[in-house]
Structure 1
């Protein structure tokens, strides 16, 4: 449950945008995983719930990390969804089984943001995704140990998605986080990139079927 003093700092419009983006991203990941040919209601529901827990949580935590880090420095910040990119995400997932996750951005309002502050605010997003790897790794181990495939599936998907979001946002391009972290602190940037891509590569090559079949 979100503490009241934190909940009050998320305006109604921002809550709406976060909810819509959460649902749309979950739908995109669901479509990417099962395609459009396996329209089995129970499978769709299961994958949608798993996507909400993994991709949805990864997205929310990432954006809120930006928001509350910015507010810690005295700036106001709000997430604003991009409806066009949400539609594109679902469409690309259906056509190519790839999720292009760019649902919007956390807008920071302040004219005197220093390079250091901007770097730390940007770092908070991908760093939060790397920290989320810990509970999802524990879920993976628990699922394997107790022999429940669905629990292990949530774990490995959570690891893959969080590593992917971290790695993507660390690219030093355009408005992505990496473009602000790199000029602020190059050693921190390099360390984050190496960790994110190493975990992503390992997670994508991990065969979950092994412990169960």
Structure 2
């Protein structure tokens, strides 16, 4: 699989992964300056948002490649900086550090499927991290925190990307199939509400 991810794309994914992990660290540490806690939350953010973000973008990439198109993630330095600054200053994460560029003239259906692959992957990861959270209840509070963050972050990534605006995934899915859009939209925002209410 790595041979299908060029060096430049790997570098862009790593830079964006680190930046978005910093942004979510600021989000979770709004009222704390404890350096040990900061390091722990940063590592947890790397694991949770790292997995969620990278898998989201790779889902787009491999869905596009399934249809015979070449696709690569490209970071956006301005959006990376904005994500970190907004999280640090106002406690909001605008998680759009770049995009997976698909090369070729896709059909509306292909574009919709490629776009849906990202949020759908985040929803699957929500379920996996929910399992980690509940298993962690009998193992360690650290495992519970990791599971909680994984559910919350992946739910937020799915919901943000399913907004039917501009170049986000939701707009492309809506243009393709309103029923699938409705299912993913409700599931994504339902996951956010459940994660923030019950975890």
TM over 0.5: yes
Measure the CA separation in 2 of the matches of 1:172 and 1:91.
25
1:128 aligns with 2:121: yes
The equivalent residue for 1:166 is: 158
Question: Structure 1 residue 85: deviation in Å?
Answer: 0.8
Measure the CA separation in 2 of the matches of 1:164 and 1:195.
11
Match of 1:21 among 9, 16, 19: 16
1:60 aligns with 2:59: no
Q: Report the 3-state secondary structure (helix = DSSP H, G, I; strand = E; otherwise coil) of the residue aligned with 2:137.
A: helix
The equivalent residue for 1:84 is: 78
Q: Residue deviations 1:122-157, cap 9 Å, x none? A: 0100000011112101110011122x1111111111
Measure the CA separation in 2 of the matches of 1:197 and 1:22.
23
Match of 1:201 among 174, 193, 199: 193
The equivalent residue for 1:153 is: 145
Question: Gaps spanning 5+ residues in structure 2: where?
Answer: none
Computing the radius of gyration from Cα coordinates, the structure with the larger value is 1
Question: Structure 1 residue 176: deviation in Å?
Answer: 0.5
Q: What is the TM-score normalised by the length of structure 1?
A: 0.90
Measure the CA separation in 2 of the matches of 1:166 and 1:194.
10
Number of corresponding residues: 199
The equivalent residue for 1:3 is: none
- Measured on the aligned residues, the alpha-carbon RMSD in Å equals 1.1
Q: Residue deviations 1:35-86, cap 9 Å, x none? A: 3x63332111101100011111110000000000001111000000001111
Question: Structure 1 residue 34: deviation in Å?
Answer: 1.2
Q: Report the 3-state secondary structure (helix = DSSP H, G, I; strand = E; otherwise coil) of the residue aligned with 1:205.
A: helix
The equivalent residue for 2:6 is: 11
Measure the CA separation in 2 of the matches of 1:156 and 1:95.
24
Q: Report the 3-state secondary structure (helix = DSSP H, G, I; strand = E; otherwise coil) of the residue aligned with 1:80.
A: strand
Match of 2:111 among 114, 118, 127: 118
| Runs of 4+ deviating beyond 2 Å | 37-41
Q: What is the TM-score normalised by the length of structure 2?
A: 0.96
Measure the CA separation in 2 of the matches of 1:197 and 1:143.
24
Q: Report the 3-state secondary structure (helix = DSSP H, G, I; strand = E; otherwise coil) of the residue aligned with 1:145.
A: coil
